[in-house]
Structure 1
Amino acid sequence: MMLRGFTTVTFFADDMAAATAWYTKVFGIEPYFNKEDAYIEWRVGDYQHEFGLLDSRFAPHQPAGRPAGAVIYWAVDDVEAAYQRLLALGAEPHEKPTERGPGYVTASVTDPFGNILGVMFNQHYLDVCAGNGFTA
């Protein structure tokens, strides 16, 4: 078995119309896929990764006391600017910008729908992009 990379990340929302409008502002593009307003999807970034938004009634449930979900970090050139922009759009602080080591800075917010959205400057990501012919 060979893992070839992530294809789609899915977040959940109770108010799909509000979440669709918010993420359309965040990404600066319209979604390319809409399945009966229950699942909305955008293609974002250097590799056109898929970001999906699914109505919360279809969200997986964990037994009480067990964490659910994951934090995805989007590559950005300026973590502080991205963090401040997300806050200005209505997100709440989750973790302020923090240097994790040389070439790695992360921050995260909680979107208006309860999902944690991370942003990261990651030198390794830029190196991979350069190796694949993309420029920063």
Structure 2
Amino acid sequence: MAVDLFAGVPVEDYTAALSWYERLFGAPPAFLPNDTEAVWELGEHRYVYIEQRPGRAGNALHTLFVDDLDARVAGITARGLRPVDRETYANGVRKVTYEDRDGNQIGFGGGPENG
């Protein structure tokens, strides 16, 4: 079965969120469906989008697993964002979490450090 992902992030202020997510993902959106929505393609058929939805803003919790967590975090840091949390689980999996101004959390996960 083929699976596509289209994960949404409701935001209060679209313009401010657009800038923040461009820094988080390191690129402008892949496309803009309308004036209050922006979409990033993170992998083939795997999208994250922000949408201005003031009444729902701040409730997203997404974790993206990446091949090189350290490189990803270094790139995000170079673009001026800092994580709100870093975790290492008993099995060695690590997670670094970022939080936008609305409280939406986007985490990046990866394997053990240096491996």
Settle same-fold status: TM greater than 0.5. Answer: yes
Report the Cα distance in structure 1 between the residues aligned to 2:102 and 2:71, rounded to whole angstroms.
21
Equivalence for 1:130: none
Q: Tell me the secondary structure at the aligned position of residue 29 of structure 1.
A: coil
Is 1:34 matched up with 2:24?
Answer: no
Which has the greater radius of gyration? Answer: 1
| Residue segments in structure 2 that go unaligned for 5+ positions in a row | none
Asked if the contact 2:26/2:76 (under 8 Å) is kept, the reply is no
Equivalence for 1:65: none
Looking at secondary structure, tell me which structure has more helix per residue: 1
- Structure with larger RCO (C-alpha < 8 A, sep 6+): 2
After TM superposition, where is structure 1 displaced by more than 6 Å over at least 4 residues in a row? Answer: none
Report the Cα distance in structure 2 between the residues aligned to 1:111 and 1:86, rounded to whole angstroms.
13
Q: Over aligned residue pairs, what C-alpha RMSD do you find?
A: 3.0
Equivalence for 2:47: 50
Matches within 5 A, 1:81-96: 81-83=71-73, 85-86=75-76, 89=79, 91=81, 93-96=83-86
% same residue: 23
Matches within 5 A, 1:92-107: 93-102=83-92, 104-107=93-96
Alignment length (residue pairs)? 112
